[in-house]
Amino acid sequence: MLNVIGQRKIWFISSGLLVLMAIVSLFIWGLKFGIDFTGGSILEVSYSKERPTMIAVQEALTGLDLANVRLQPSGEKDYILRFEEIEETTHQNILTSLEAIEIAGVDDNTLSELRFEAVGPIIGQELKTKALQAIVIVLIFIILYIAYAFRKVSKPVASWKYGLAAIVALVHDILLVIGVFSILGHFMNVEVDILFVTALLTILGFSVHDTIVTFDRIRENLFRNQDQDFKEIVNNSINQTIIRSINTSFTTLLALLAVYFFGGKSIQNFALALILGVIVGTYSSIFLASPLLVIWNKKKE
């Protein structure tokens, strides 16, 4: 049997150091926001037979005076282009230039426009605000739900503290994922977009689900073993659910890894955020949320 509660200082120190690193990274480098938040244009095109090289595409766009062009291969024959907001005339010139690219031995390589989207800076700022509001609202409703679900558990830890412990774990998970993307944005130019916000909200749901499973087992054991010490009950409950949590997370990771490697460039960052979220969410559910209950109980005593 794992002595998770007995070694809780190790988990708290490890989590504290990781969160501190994430906060320092955010303070120094921040996040590299995509056009969803900063404003700009995104163009996705597909070639019927063969995609030209990135160098050929960059050379074709050289004379169009596009600012901050970012070129991203997608699938086998597609490209995603991101640049600052442009007029319709420039949009058509881009398509003409891309279609004019010649590949040796390939004829009738027709270009198709899959999508073209423009996001203004005002809309981008509004998206930032609404994304933050969505995360805060989710956290509030989670703590209210857990407090209600555990309303009959008042001893030795009040029901609302279960919700607070879950929120601490969720904030830990979100900060670590954001911190990693801050580092990736600085060193590898990885951008965050609206899909990243979707990933964060998904992580919140996954992580709190895992935490509630452990909390529910603690609640059951509290009624069954009222003569046991609270620390023992929590540790036993973690050991009873840890295999289930790991198995659930492992099978989820297999699916996400498949999406990351075979799903195309456009959703790689989304899959990466979910992979990180599943890992840290499983960790926090086992080694952070439940031990917090024991700490608060000791302070109460």
Q: How far apart are CA 8 and CA 284, in angstroms?
A: 12
Q: Is residue 3 part of a domain?
A: no
Predicted local confidence at residue 1, as pLDDT:
75
The Cα–Cα gap between 153 and 165 comes to 14
Per the CB < 8 A criterion, the answer to whether 97 and 59 are in contact is: no
Express each pLDDT in 129-178 by its tens digit.
Answer: 888 888 888 888 888 888 787 777 657 777 788 888 989 999 999 999 99
Same domain, 111 and 44: yes
Query: Do 86 and 225 belong together in one domain?
Result: no
CATH number for the domain that contains residue 202: 1.20.1640.10
**Would you state the pLDDT for residue 301?**
58
If one compares 183 and 81, the residue with the highest pLDDT of the two is 183
pLDDT, one tens digit per residue, over 206-247 is: 888 888 889 889 888 888 877 788 899 999 999 999 999 999
For the segment 105-118, the average pLDDT, to the nearest whole number, is 86
CATH number at residue 103: 3.30.70.3400
Same-domain status, 59 and 22: no
Tell whether 248 and 191 lie within a shared domain.
yes
pLDDT over threshold 70, residue 300 = no
Residue 16, pLDDT > 90, answer yes
Domain count, the chain: 2
- Residues 136 and 198 reside in one and the same domain: yes
Summarize pLDDT for 262-275 with one digit per residue, the tens.
Answer: 877 778 899 999 99
Residue 188 belongs to a domain: yes
Residue after which a domain boundary falls, among 119, 149, 182: 119
Last residue of a domain, one of 96, 119, 142: 119
The model's pLDDT over 59-103, given as tens digits with 9 standing for 90+, comes to 888 888 777 777 888 878 899 888 877 888 888 989 998 988 888
Residue 18 lies in a domain: yes
CA dist., res. 300 & res. 166, Å (int): 19
Tell me how far apart the alpha carbons of residues 54 and 61 are, in angstroms, rounded to a whole number.
Answer: 11
Domain of 249? Answer: 8-35+122-300
User: Tokens in use for 204?
Assistant: 């919140």
Weakest mean pLDDT among 35-39, 123-127, 134-138, 168-172: 123-127
Same domain, 135 and 84: no
Q: Examine the domain organization and report whether 114 and 253 are in the same domain.
A: no
Same domain, 106 and 85: yes
The whole-chain average pLDDT of the chain stands at 87
